[in-house]
Amino acid sequence: FIHLPNTSPEVQEYTVKVAQKIINNFEMPNSDENLTTVISFKIDTKGNLIKHEIIQSSNNEDYDNRVISAIKKSSPYPTPPLVKNAVEFEVLLNMDLSIIKLIKMLSGELDFAPALPAPLAQPENLPQKPTGMKFVNPEDLEELN
């Protein structure tokens, strides 16, 4: 999310709550690309989504659609803080995939460990090559001497 420098602590706290709700509803893509979508959306005084607009596209249609879907799915939002004479509340959100991944990892929604490759399958019916070595239990060494 983007904090505007001259906003009140109440507005900043509200923006964090909205961003958390959206990230919780965001469905992660199967992508390692560095994707970022900046989106502006408006909420009425009851927390309902009024409209949204992509300010900067990620140039990845699937990712942009996931951002829009999360914003729609998150509505209704918490009631915005009262701002004198306001009939709507605008939020500017920077949906950076690398930051979202980090947030989801820290919250336990994503695994930290990368996926391990599957073990190699052992070919069936191959004769074992003799190696000339024999594995012996150390207790049995005395018997060999």
Q: Under 8 Å CB-to-CB from 142, ≥6 apart: which residues? A: none
How far is 13 from 19, CA to CA, in rounded Å?
A: 10
Let me know if 59 is exposed, middle or buried by CB neighbors in 10 A (0-12, 13-18, 19+): exposed
> For residues 77 and 104, is the Cβ–Cβ distance under 8 A?
no
Paired tokens of 90:
């605008």
Higher pLDDT, 34 or 115: 34
For the chain, how are helix, strand and coil distributed in percent, rounded to 5? 30, 20, 50
Least-confidence region, from 87-96, 111-120, 128-137: 111-120
Q: Please, what's the b/e burial string for 97-113 (b: 16 or more CB within 10 A of its CB; e: otherwise)?
A: beebeebbeeeeeeeee
Is 0.75 topped by the overall pTM? no
Question: What is the rounded end-to-end Cα distance, in angstroms, of the chain?
Answer: 74
In terms of residues, how long is the chain?
145
- The top-scoring range by mean pLDDT among 25-29, 99-103, 112-116, 123-127 is 25-29
Checking DSSP bridges between strand 88-96 and strand 36-44, what pairing results, if any? antiparallel
Which is more confident, 135 or 28? 28
- Look at residue 118 and tell me whether its pLDDT is greater than 80: no
Note the pLDDT tens digit of each residue in 53-111.
999 999 999 999 999 999 999 999 998 887 667 788 888 889 999 999 988 888 887 66
